[in-house]
Structure 1
């Protein structure tokens, strides 16, 4: 554990606290500072504050950096499909059934284990359990993920997500016949007060917007492309359920009578973002996995 204090000078008066601390240590990212604030490891005059706190001359900033938890996260040869890689970022395909990062009690077989084997350097902003991981998709969702190879690239990708400039398009098979060709779901998402393991539409939830467009109709089922404007936990699954068209195969948000395909029919097929160093827009696309294709073939036969 490391502890130190910073006393605010006249020149720093009214500056944001995260900006001041970044000046104190240039290697710190805003995300790292904000995480420490949430954990009340950064105090102003002995009291916790929000990340947008504006300092006053004479404030005493106390910073405690906890010792990192030690886990033996080992690299594993999982033969991941690295779709793209340069000095700053990589784009990797996560197959259905694979967890993105390790957690206590589940330390192997994850995307991170495979990344550690195939990519030499990974960003450390998200800690030892999630090196390189900028965003996630659910275990039973297949598709593309951005991976950061160092902290500056990581921060750039996070900033793009916050600015809503990252392209994220998903293919989803849902229950029911959607009559209109396109639409937008704008409804806040938060923890379900009746089931803390699930998300739901709640008044005090986080702003969430999903745009969708019908790709094909199969009687009682509809294939849609969903474009995320925000990226909340289980966003597409919750939003499609909210409008009466839950995902096929979804064990958490779908109906009891659904097609048994081993999880929700959801595929993150298109991913686009600005390369952090060159400023070039990069976009990647991967086809539907074979099991998803087979479901669509069977529906067409019927």
Structure 2
């Protein structure tokens, strides 16, 4: 992966910015950069004022020039073998995101993300989303999650897909290998009843709202949070009863929704140290976005699970990774 250096400059010309903090001005005026990111980059030594390195709290004056300088990790000439373009239509590009790679960069100086690889092959995606950081991505997967990600090829397609996601009109199927619950069907904690209901012998609906967690990097079931709906279907169980392969249909798209809802059922995903056993840090998160259906905007596209996912199933005597037939929400 090649490393070069890039910079962006901003001259302070608005009287409203005179005397304000550098990170505030950058977050307000520089497209695709939030104040939080500007502060972090200043703390890391990437922000200059009239050529001199400054802290995020430095005050700026009219006529001065702010500059951000960072190292750029560009995709190499040869594509990453773990990145696969699954399908391309006139409006969308479907790519397989490997675990451990961001969907798009959250900061300019982060390593190359999936959006960078997609833009190398389809440059039009880079300008399809209003926020240039997103590179046309119409949704995101967690860093640790693998699976299908959709990129728009132009602004109209991006807007249409985002509206479909907002309406809950996009069918998203995940596979997860979980720690088996004490019994089936799982019911959730006794002090929060009413959020889990059976669908059939092998499936339940989880309808627990999700809000902020105890830490910034976590979410949690919260009565104050927005509604969230997940259908959890048992596909197979390991012969020793320790693990269960599940197929998940996410009707909504809350932060860490699959992970939070499965932990709520007392069946956390294998390798999920945020919501499950903390001693599984050496294991990958065994959560995979196996398909996404944008119909009628685009056909359904699927991505096979990673080798690590398939190997875990084989090592524990579990069956096929093919998901069970989806059930539309009632």
**Aligned residue number for residue 91 of structure 1:** 94
The question of whether the paired residues in 2 share the 8 Å contact of 1:208 and 1:230 is answered with: yes
Residue 259 (structure 1) shift: 8.0
The question of whether the paired residues in 2 share the 8 Å contact of 1:73 and 1:129 is answered with: no
Deviations 1:262-295 (A, max 9, x none): 3x2100011111354xxxx501112211111111
**Aligned residue number for residue 158 of structure 2:** 154
**Aligned residue number for residue 232 of structure 2:** 212
TM-score normalised by the chain length of structure 2: 0.65
Alignment partner of 1:295: what SS? helix
Q: Which one of the candidate residues 315, 323, 326 is aligned to 1:298?
A: 315
Equivalence map 1:1-302=2 (5 Å): 76-77=75-76, 78-79=79-80, 80-104=83-107, 106-122=109-125, 123-177=127-181, 179-180=184-185, 181-192=202-213, 194-218=214-238, 219-258=241-280, 260-262=282-284, 264-274=285-295, 276=297, 281-300=298-317
Cα distance in 1 for residues equivalent to 2:73 and 2:108? 14
Deviations 1:72-127 (A, max 9, x none): 86752444311111221110000111111112264322112212211120144341
- More off after superposition, 83-92 vs 146-155: 83-92
- Label 1:244 to 1:226 Cα distance change in 2 as closer, same or farther (>3 A): same
The question of whether the paired residues in 1 share the 8 Å contact of 2:73 and 2:112 is answered with: no
Deviations 1:7-43 (A, max 9, x none): xxxxxxxxxxxxxxxxxxxxxxxxxxxxxxxx9xxxx
Cα distance in 2 for residues equivalent to 1:100 and 1:160? 19
The question of whether the paired residues in 1 share the 8 Å contact of 2:232 and 2:248 is answered with: yes
The question of whether the paired residues in 1 share the 8 Å contact of 2:70 and 2:109 is answered with: no
Cα distance in 2 for residues equivalent to 1:275 and 1:201? 32
Cα distance in 1 for residues equivalent to 2:88 and 2:71? 26
Cα distance in 2 for residues equivalent to 1:72 and 1:130? 19
Alignment partner of 1:143: what SS? strand
Alignment partner of 2:115: what SS? helix
The question of whether the paired residues in 2 share the 8 Å contact of 1:126 and 1:133 is answered with: no
Q: Which runs of 5+ in 2 are unaligned?
A: 1-9, 15-34, 36-67, 186-201, 319-330
TM-score normalised by the chain length of structure 1: 0.71
Q: Which runs of 5+ in 1 are unaligned?
A: 4-38, 40-68
Cα distance in 2 for residues equivalent to 1:108 and 1:255? 29
The question of whether the paired residues in 1 share the 8 Å contact of 2:273 and 2:281 is answered with: no
Alignment partner of 1:300: what SS? coil
- CA RMSD after TM alignment: 2.9
